[in-house]
């Protein structure tokens, strides 16, 4: 007869012994206790960042597989492979190995297409993710640094995508490289030196593919991995933002624990994202390089279009007039040089916005509750105006396709886009601001009068009115709990001692911008507490 005697310690399992060994050296028990029960709020918009993360993981996994078969060399070979129409054609090893991956490696074409679709979704996800942060104001203190990290990843993602897009050395990607060469050559004095260094001689040279390959699989992914880790650490450190609701404040987080609830949901969402990417790759062909043929410097593809994220840069150059001037013996191609200077400026406008808004408002407090976009009309209007400007230039990158498909004059299209670049953002700003003010007024009416029921009532004296249903406490909180900033007051021009205050132009500009953001006509005043109590009593 055997049994366990009281006070005798039972032998631990092998897994427990391994965990104890690791805890003694890494302190994993303390880390798990501190972080595994961390609370995360639940909302569909928070999944946009996860789409970016899971697309990046898919990019790494598929990219590792592709590197096993890709040859980043521009040495000339004669193709002899499964794609018969190109047999005997001279091409680079890079292009030949890409054809080999597509037609001879088991599952190679599927992996190539998953990789390409993942890149497109990765960048699209980052763009939408950043816009979600912009419109809800989650970039405010203490998250300015995290916003900058996300913005850097978006910009680097454009160049990462371009380097990968150029690796197959097909005619379409080669046309893009000619575009880059022309842009580099437009820089006065140093342009030719940069071009010779980049291509290792006259385009196409012999080094560009191997250099892009190193940047694409080593340098930029390493930077991305570092930035993503730093981004996630800051998310955990600052705690997650949340939408306003009863019981939610800047000092708490209402949601579900990281383990097991959030981990289970995140794991399922990862397989959902990768599954969608696999389905897209299986049914929607993308970048069929065999249709374009190998790159030749004396040929160009018709209807050449970059991936969507580089359409903005190409549109800038396409819609710019072909101006040239001679300066100190140098020909300055302004039709290319000016767009190259405008491109980073447009990106910087959105990247530096958190610091601009903090300067305008003078707000140095921490914010963990999100704004409803309608409650910040000017910020929302600026965001829509920026997106409309980006879209105009992106459409400009497809002016030849639009002209061909719609049988229109390309000159007319270019002039329409040129006018739109200046007119559309202004119109978008005005309309968006007006819509936000209208929605604010509707929220105010709901708080004071309740929801429309559609029931028509007749009063004793014969008047017909519509019945209204009072809002619940939770509904009233969501519509009216937001804080409304006040425009900064400049104060009197003359001090108490009679001295005249001197204000710099920058200071005057700040007060003017503050009035534009939060002054009269920039927001609808919230109902006061007395007005709310009076409406409830009625």
Give strand pairing partners of 369.
242
pLDDT, residue 336, reads 86
pLDDT band at 143 (very low <50, low <70, confident <90, very high): very high
pLDDT, residue 183, reads 85
Percent of the chain with pLDDT over 90: 45
pLDDT, residue 495, reads 63
Strands in 185-298 per DSSP E: 256-257
pLDDT, residue 237, reads 87
pLDDT band at 305 (very low <50, low <70, confident <90, very high): confident
Q: What is the CA radius of gyration of the chain?
A: 30
| 295 compared with 202, residue with greater pLDDT | 295
| pLDDT, mean of residues 64-78 | 94
Q: Residue 500 is encoded by which pair of tokens? A: 């005249």
pLDDT, residue 1, reads 46
pLDDT digits (tens, 9 = 90+) for 26-64: 777 777 766 777 788 888 888 899 999 999 999 999 999
| pLDDT, mean of residues 94-120 | 95
Helix (H) or strand (E) holding 386: helix 377-396
| pLDDT, mean of residues 148-157 | 94
Spell out a b/e string for 213-228, using b for 16 or more CB atoms within 10 Å of the CB, else e.
beebbeebbeebeeeb
| pLDDT, mean of residues 462-474 | 84
Tell whether the model's pLDDT for residue 286 goes beyond 80.
Answer: yes
| 21 compared with 407, residue with greater pLDDT | 407
Chain center to CA of 535:
43
Q: Write the CB contacts of 293 (distance below 8 Å, at least 6 apart in sequence).
A: 86, 89, 170, 171, 299
3-state secondary structure of 328: coil
Q: Residue 374 is encoded by which pair of tokens? A: 């309608």
Tell whether the model's pLDDT for residue 451 goes beyond 70.
Answer: yes
pLDDT band at 494 (very low <50, low <70, confident <90, very high): low
Give the max Cα distance, the chain. Answer: 105
| 265 compared with 428, residue with greater pLDDT | 428
| pLDDT, mean of residues 106-126 | 95
| pLDDT, mean of residues 295-300 | 81
pLDDT, residue 212, reads 93
- Which has the minimum average pLDDT: 18-27, 189-198, 290-299, 363-372? 18-27
| 235 compared with 536, residue with greater pLDDT | 235
Sign, CA dihedral 297-302-307-308, equals positive
- Kind of pairing between the strands at 256-257 and 39-40: antiparallel
Q: Residue 322 is encoded by which pair of tokens? A: 């072909």
Percent of the chain with pLDDT over 70: 94
pLDDT, residue 475, reads 87
pLDDT, residue 496, reads 64
């Amino acid at each position: 007869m055997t049994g366990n005697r009281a006070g005798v310690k039972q032998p631990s399992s092998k897994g427990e012994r391994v965990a104890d060994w690791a805890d003694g050296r890494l302190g994993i028990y303390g880390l798990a206790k501190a972080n595994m029960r961390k609370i995360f709020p639940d909302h569909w918009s928070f999944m946009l960042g996860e789409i970016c993360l899971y697309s990046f993981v898919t990019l790494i996994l598929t990219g590792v597989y592709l590197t096993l078969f890709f040859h980043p060399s521009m040495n000339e070979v004669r193709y002899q492979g499964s794609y018969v129409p190109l047999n005997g054609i001279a091409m680079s090893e890079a292009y030949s190995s890409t054809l080999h991956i597509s037609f001879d490696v088991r599952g190679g074409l599927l992996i190539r297409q998953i990789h390409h679709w993942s890149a497109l979704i990765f960048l699209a996800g980052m763009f939408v993710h950043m816009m979600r942060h912009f419109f809800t104001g989650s970039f405010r203190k203490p998250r300015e640094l995290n916003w900058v990290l996300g913005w850097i990843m978006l910009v680097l993602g454009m160049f990462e995508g371009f380097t990968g897009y150029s690796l197959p050395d097909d005619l379409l990607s080669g046309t893009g490289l000619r575009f880059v060469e022309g842009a580099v050559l437009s820089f006065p004095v140093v342009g030719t030196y940069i071009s010779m260094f980049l291509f290792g001689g006259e385009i196409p040279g012999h080094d560009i593919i191997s250099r892009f390959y190193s940047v694409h699989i080593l340098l930029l992914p390493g930077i991305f991995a570092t930035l993503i880790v730093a981004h996630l650490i800051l998310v955990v450190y600052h705690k997650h933002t949340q939408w306003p609701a009863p019981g939610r404040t800047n000092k708490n987080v209402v949601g579900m624990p990281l383990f097991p609830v959030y981990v289970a949901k995140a794991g399922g969402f990862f397989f959902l994202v990768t599954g969608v990417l696999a389905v897209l790759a299986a049914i929607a062909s993308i970048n069929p390089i065999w249709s374009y043929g190998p790159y030749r410097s004396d040929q160009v593809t018709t209807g050449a279009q970059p991936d969507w994220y580089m359409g903005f840069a190409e549109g800038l150059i396409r819609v710019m007039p072909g101006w040239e001037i001679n300066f100190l013996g140098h020909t300055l191609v302004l039709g290319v040089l000016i767009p190259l200077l405008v491109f980073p400026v447009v990106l910087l406008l959105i990247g530096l916005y958190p610091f601009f808004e903090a300067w305008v408002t003078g707000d140095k407090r921490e914010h963990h509750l999100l704004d409803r976009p309608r409650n910040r009309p000017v910020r929302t209007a600026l965001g829509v105006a920026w997106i409309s400007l980006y879209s105009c230039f992106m459409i400009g990158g497809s002016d030849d396709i639009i002209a061909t498909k719609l049988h229109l004059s390309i000159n007319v299209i270019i002039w329409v886009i040129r006018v739109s670049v200046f007119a559309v953002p202004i119109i978008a700003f005005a309309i968006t601001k007006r819509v936000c003010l209208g929605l604010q007024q509707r929220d105010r009416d709901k708080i004071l009068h309740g929801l429309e029921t559609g029931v028509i009532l007749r009063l004793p004296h014969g008047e017909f009115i519509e019945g209204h249903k009072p809002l619940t406490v939770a509904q009233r909180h969501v519509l009216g709990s937001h804080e409304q900033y006040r425009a900064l007051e400049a104060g009197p021009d003359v001090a108490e001692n009679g001295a005249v205050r001197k204000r710099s132009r920058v200071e005057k500009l700040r007060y003017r911008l503050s009035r534009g953001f939060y002054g009269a006509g920039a927001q609808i005043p919230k109902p006061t507490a007395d007005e709310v109590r009076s409406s409830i009593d009625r």
